[in-house]
Amino acid sequence: MYVLASKWARSMMAWPLGIAISREAPESIVRVRSEYESSFLITVGDVVTMNTIKYWRVPNLAFMDLKTRRTIDMGMEITGFDKVINIINRPATLSIEVINAIRGAMREAMGGSRVLIQVDGEEDLLAIPAVLLAPKGSLVLYGLYTGYLIAIPVVDEYKLAMFKLFLMMRPGNA
């Protein structure tokens, strides 16, 4: 298991690691949609995923924990996915099992299935392996707690940034 151990590394996750869009949905989604219409699409987080489905399309791969602001959202209706994969991801961690599950889900999504990874635990850090494992030309969307929509076009520069963030993690226990 890899742990986001240092305070500095944790603070890095509070910064937008991509293109920050300050508009609320639907304007933020419409802006991204106009530039990345045909991209392989990955969403991280419940609000981002639901807004993307509502105002654009079902992502190829999505990560949700079925919580909004850390409270369970029982009214959330999730439709449009061909497969749901359940994983456990402890806060501030990435395990080899989680990374392997994402790798398998990515393969299925690249094969044409719409895949939802339902996370018991924290889904925020899953943007790191999502960017690292996604095919070039993909788009990863996630929400920052400050209200920004973050768009990460999967290109070498962003893959390198995510790899550097991953290297800040240390083997250990959370």
Q: Which residues contact 56 (CB under 8 A, 6 or more apart)?
A: 29, 30, 32, 33, 41
Q: Is 98 annotated as a binding residue?
A: no
Q: Is 156 annotated as a binding residue?
A: no
The counts of H helices and E strands in the chain are 6, 12
Q: Is 35 annotated as a binding residue?
A: no
Identify residue 145 by its one-letter amino acid code: Y
Dist CA 121 CA 115 (whole Å): 18
Helix (H) or strand (E) holding 10: helix 7-12
Q: Is 48 annotated as a binding residue?
A: yes
* Under 8 Å between Cβ of 141 and 44: yes
Dist CA 126 CA 48 (whole Å): 14
Identify residue 155 by its one-letter amino acid code: V
Known binding-site residue numbers = 46-48, 65, 67, 123
Going by the annotation, the residues of the binding site for GTP are 46-48, 65, 67, 123
